A and B are shown apart, each in its own frame.
Chain A
Amino acid sequence: MSTLIDGLSLGSVYALIALGYTMVYGIAKMLNFAHGDIIMVGSYAIFTTMSLCGFPLVAILVAVVVCTLLGIAIEKVAYKPLRGASPLAVLITAIGVSYLLQGIAQLIYGSTSKPVTIINMGNFQIGNSTVRVSSIVTLVVGAILMVILTLFINMTKTGRAMIAVSEDRGAAELMGINVNKIISITFAIGSALAAAASVCYLFQIPSTMPTLGAMPGIKAFTAAVIGGIGSIPGAVIGGVLLGVIENVCKSTPLSPFTTAIEFGLLIVILLVKPTGILGKKRREKV
């Protein structure tokens, strides 16, 4: 029971990160490998504000602002000049940005991990299993953000413009949609989600280091691909699935193979359904 809840809450962290990957991919058609490192920056923003003032709410707000601004800045400086360049060039740039962020964090904060406690939330009993309050909070926060995001995309003008850009950038541009602005907004939202993910991550694992974003980033990317990259519900399903599988694996004797099993699952899904669980089939136009 509590293994399942822990798995679900870990899954919602992955899902939040995967949302950022999937949105950027769906709209800008690029894999933003620096996304995991934005989470890392968010966690250091929390670490710094917590040690300066100690108010969790302020720290969370600062993290959201810092991450959003950073996301927009990265997009403007590193990716915008490459719009229209080959996808490989953009991919390499993203990896470069990722290393740059890690390097800067190491320069400022050093390479050792720093403990970060936002709030101690304790636990409660259901039957004879102990459930951590932080798991429930993560789960709820994740769910709320996902609902808001879905509503935003389907209900608002900007959201619908995003869908339009993702379906056909050229046509969207002809219809008078400012594609550059939409892509910037996408990065801003994706990075704000990354900040939320870093808050949830720190609820689960109260410690940060410069390479914090790397592994969750790759796992979330896996989750996004499993769910069908470009699809928002797909990212959520993929993330939660991966989180639960991970935690169930860890409580069995298969524990040393957890990571291998997760990535093995990716291979299986790609073999069976190459577009992912909810991925759309798209015929290549010749």
Chain B
Amino acid sequence: MKKTLARIFSVALVLVMAVATLASCGGSAKNYAENNTEYFIGATGPLTGDASSYGISVNNGAKLAIKEINAKGGLNGKFFKYEMKDDQATASLTASGYDALYEAGMQISIGAVTSGACESFASKAEENNLLFMTPSASTASVISDRSNGFRICFGDPDQGVLAARNIAAKYTKVGVIYDTSSDYSKGVYDAFAAEMNKLGKSFTAKTFDAENNKDFSAQVEALKDCDVIFLPIYYTEAGLIAKMAVSKGCNAVLFGCDGFDGIKDQITNKETGELEVSNKIMYITPFDANSTDPTVKSFVDAYKAEYNLLPDQFAADGYDAVYAIYNAMKAANVDNVTISPSELCDIVRAKLTESTFVFKGATGEVTWNEKGEPTKVPQIVEFN
């Protein structure tokens, strides 16, 4: 008797597994956009975990944009709905988050926040021909070769080239410290090194591995006499390097990329409010919260009123990503709230890549080429 039960059970189990396999072979989940009463913009991002500061900023920026758009009456009387699923910057959570959103009727999206996760998002979105406008996934591969992928922020190689040109024009003794454990840092560094070689300039490079090591005494010691140290890294480590430079008596200019956004907070003494670092700090960024540009100012004021925080670059990117989608849909006069993701993708793509389509947002004026890459003018923020 027991044996028969076991046999029935195992057959049942096999059947269940077979069905499950077939279902997953069937590929992507079904989209129920035909039931939508609002346009649905989806996203995934790290709302918890190590990279959560980026996800939370993008999410705040995007939510603010949606709120403003809906307050202004939406698009042809139809409102927008937005949701970000937590992906903790991992590929697997991004994939399941995408499926959940897609089934819930997502029609267009701002992709994922971090590069690795966005790779997973992008490959799924490509299958469904769903357009995504990633605010901040900057590695080249995320949007290249994908006609449905667009980006708001600079690509990593662009920043490396820009930095090399700026540095080569002004300084002679150049040092670099980059992070071998980060795709972002390596991507910028490779382009920087290539451009410096093209310009016939020499430089000394040192590396570190942010996941395992946060002591920079040896690297700063080796580059102490440089005029400038290029740091294609994130602000936490950059802040530590800046402090190390001070304690080592190194006066080099510290030159960074958009990852430097937030460094001021790292090197400001909490009690006195004074900077603990005397080195000159410069970085390339598309967004400067202190800018007097009216678009930037209105965004910064609205963000402050909503969250009681100063927006960072990621918040601005999230805000712009939503507005870019909205502006393109408005320009194309989309008037069907149950439009399928694929149809909407073709319409919005055509609009975004039109040569006359210029988007003016908190991160500057942007135009997109066929590959989905943005063209915009970088600013160099400087203090000390």
| Residues of A in contact with B (beta carbons under 8 Å apart) | 2-3, 6-7, 10, 50-51, 54, 110-113, 115, 117, 120-123, 130, 132-135, 204-207, 209, 211, 215, 246-248, 250-251, 255-256, 258-259
| Residue on A nearest B46 in the bound complex, by CB | A111
Known pairs A111-B52, A112-B236; list 5 more (Cβ under 8 Å): A115-B239, A123-B248, A250-B213, A251-B218, A255-B207
Query: Smallest Cβ distance from B210 to chain A, in angstroms?
Result: 10
Q: With A115-B239, A115-B266, A207-B239 given, is the CB distance from A259 to B209 under 8 Å?
A: yes
Contact (Cβ within 8 A) A123 B249: yes
Q: Could you write out 11 A-B pairs with CB less than 8 Å apart?
A: A6-B217, A50-B270, A111-B48, A111-B51, A112-B53, A115-B265, A115-B267, A130-B224, A133-B247, A250-B215, A258-B212
B residues whose Cβ falls under 8 Å from a Cβ of A: 48-53, 180, 206-209, 211-215, 217-219, 221-222, 224, 236, 239-240, 243, 246-249, 265-267, 269-271, 276
Q: How far is the CA of A205 from the CA of B221 in the complex (A)?
A: 15
Tell me, in angstroms, the Cα distance from A246 to B51 when the chains sit together.
27
Please, how many angstroms separate the alpha-carbon atoms of A51 and B249 in the complex? 27
CB nearest neighbor in A for B88: A111
Least CB distance from A51 to B in Å reads: 6
Asked if B212 and A259 make an inter-chain contact with CB atoms under 8 angstroms apart, the answer reads yes
Given known contacts A206-B243, A259-B209, A251 and B222 CB-to-CB distance under 8 angstroms: yes
State how many angstroms separate the Cβ of A142 from the closest Cβ of chain B.
15
Given A111-B52, A251-B222, is A54 in contact with B271 using a C-beta cutoff of 8 Å?
yes
The answer to whether A121 touches B212, judged by C-beta atoms less than 8 angstroms apart, is no
Known: A54-B271, A115-B267. A258 touches B209 (CB 8 A): yes
Is A112 a contact of B52 with CB atoms below 8 Å? yes
Beta-carbon contact of B217 and A255 below 8 Å = no
Nearest residue (CB) in B for A249 is B218
With A117-B276, A132-B247, A258-B209 in contact, is A207–B236 under 8 Å at CB? yes
Assuming the A-B contacts A117-B276, A132-B248, A134-B247, are A247 and B217 also in contact, with contact meaning beta carbons closer than 8 angstroms in the complex? yes
Q: Which 3 A-B pairs have the closest CB atoms?
A: A250-B218, A6-B217, A251-B218
Q: A179: shortest Cβ distance to chain B, in Å?
A: 38
Contact check, B236 vs A117: say whether CB atoms are below 8 A apart.
no
- Other-chain contact of B247, A50, A123, A209 (Cβ < 8 Å): A123
**Is B48's CB under 8 angstroms from A250's CB?**
no
Contact B240–A206 (Cβ < 8 Å): yes
Contacts of B271 in A (CB 8 A): 54
Query: How many A-B pairs fall under 8 Å by CB?
Result: 100
| Complex interface: chain B residues within 8 A of A120 (CB) | 246-247, 276
A16 to B180, CA, bound (A): 29
How far, in Å, is B290 (CB) from chain A's closest CB? 21
Query: Are the C-beta atoms of A117 and B53 separated by less than 8 Å?
Result: no
Whole-angstrom distance between the alpha carbons of A51 and B217 in the complex?
A: 26
CB of B208 within 8 A of CB of A250, answer yes
Asked if A205 contacts B215 (CB within 8 A), the reply is: yes
Instruction: Tell me the complex Cα distance, A130–B53, Å.
Output: 36
Q: Give the nearest-CB partner of A129 in chain B.
A: B221
A247–B270 CB distance below 8 A: no
- B residues less than 8 Å from A134 (CB atoms): 247
Assess whether B247 is in contact with A250, with CB atoms less than 8 Å apart: no
Which of chain B's residues have a CB closer than 8 A to the CB of A256? 180, 207, 209
A-side contacts of B247, CB under 8 Å: 120-123, 132-134
- The answer for the CA separation of A133 and B132 in the assembled complex, in Å, is 52
Contacts A110-B52, A112-B53, A256-B180 given; does A6 touch B218 at CB 8 Å: yes
Distance in angstroms from B383 CB to nearest chain A CB is 17
- Say how far B74's CB is from chain A's closest CB, in angstroms: 34
B107 to chain A, nearest CB (A): 32
Q: Which residues of A contact B180 (CB under 8 A)?
A: 256
* Cα distance, A120 to B209, chains bound together (Å): 25
Asked whether B240 lies within 8 Å of A205 as measured between CB atoms, the reply is: yes
* CB <8 Å contact, B217 and A3: yes
What is the CB-to-nearest-CB distance from B338 to chain A, in angstroms, rounded to a whole number?
39
Instruction: Select the residue from B224, B236, B265 with max chain A CB neighbours within 10 A.
Output: B236
Question: Smallest CB–CB gap between B219 and chain A, Å?
Answer: 6
Looking at the complex, which one of A110, A133, A204, A255 makes contact with B215 (CB distance below 8 Å)?
A204
Do the beta carbons of A250 and B219 come within 8 Å of each other?
yes
Residue numbers in B under 8 Å from A111 (CB-CB):
48-53
Q: How far apart are the CA atoms of A205 and B214 in the complex, in Å?
A: 7
Q: How far is the CB of A176 from chain B (nearest CB, A)?
A: 47
Q: Could you tell me the distance between the alpha carbons of A111 and B48 in the complex, rounded to whole angstroms? A: 8
Q: Considering the chains assembled together, what is the distance between the CA atoms of A117 and B277 in angstroms?
A: 12
Given A123-B249, A255-B207, does the pair A117, B269 have CB atoms closer than 8 Å?
A: yes
The distance from the CB of B201 to the nearest CB of chain A, in whole angstroms, is 20
What is the distance, in angstroms, from A238's C-beta to the closest C-beta of chain B? 18
Question: What is the CB-to-nearest-CB distance from B233 to chain A, in angstroms, rounded to a whole number?
Answer: 13
Whether B212 pairs with A6 at a CB distance below 8 angstroms is no
Partner of A215, one of B51, B208, B213, B267: B213
Measured in the bound complex, the distance between the Cα atoms of B249 and A2 in whole Å is: 12
Q: CA–CA, A255 to B179, complex, Å?
A: 11
**How far does the alpha carbon of A250 sit from the alpha carbon of B221 in the complex, in Å?**
10
Given the interface contacts A206-B240, A250-B208, A258-B209, does A6 sit within 8 Å of B221 by beta carbon? yes
Considering the chains assembled together, what is the distance between the CA atoms of A115 and B224 in angstroms? 23
* CB–CB B213/A258 < 8 A: yes
- Docked CA distance A247–B218 (Å): 6
| CA of A122 to CA of B247, assembled, Å | 5
Q: Let me know if B215 and A10 touch, CB within 8 A.
A: yes
Residues from chain A with Cβ under 8 Å of B266 in the complex: 115, 207
CA distance A21 to B249 in the complex (A): 36
**Shortest Cβ gap from B243 to chain A (Å):** 6
The answer for the CA separation of A211 and B25 in the assembled complex, in Å, is 39
User: In the complex, which residues of chain A have a beta carbon less than 8 angstroms from the beta carbon of B48?
Assistant: 111
When distances are taken between beta carbons in the complex, the residues of chain B under 8 Å from A121 are 247
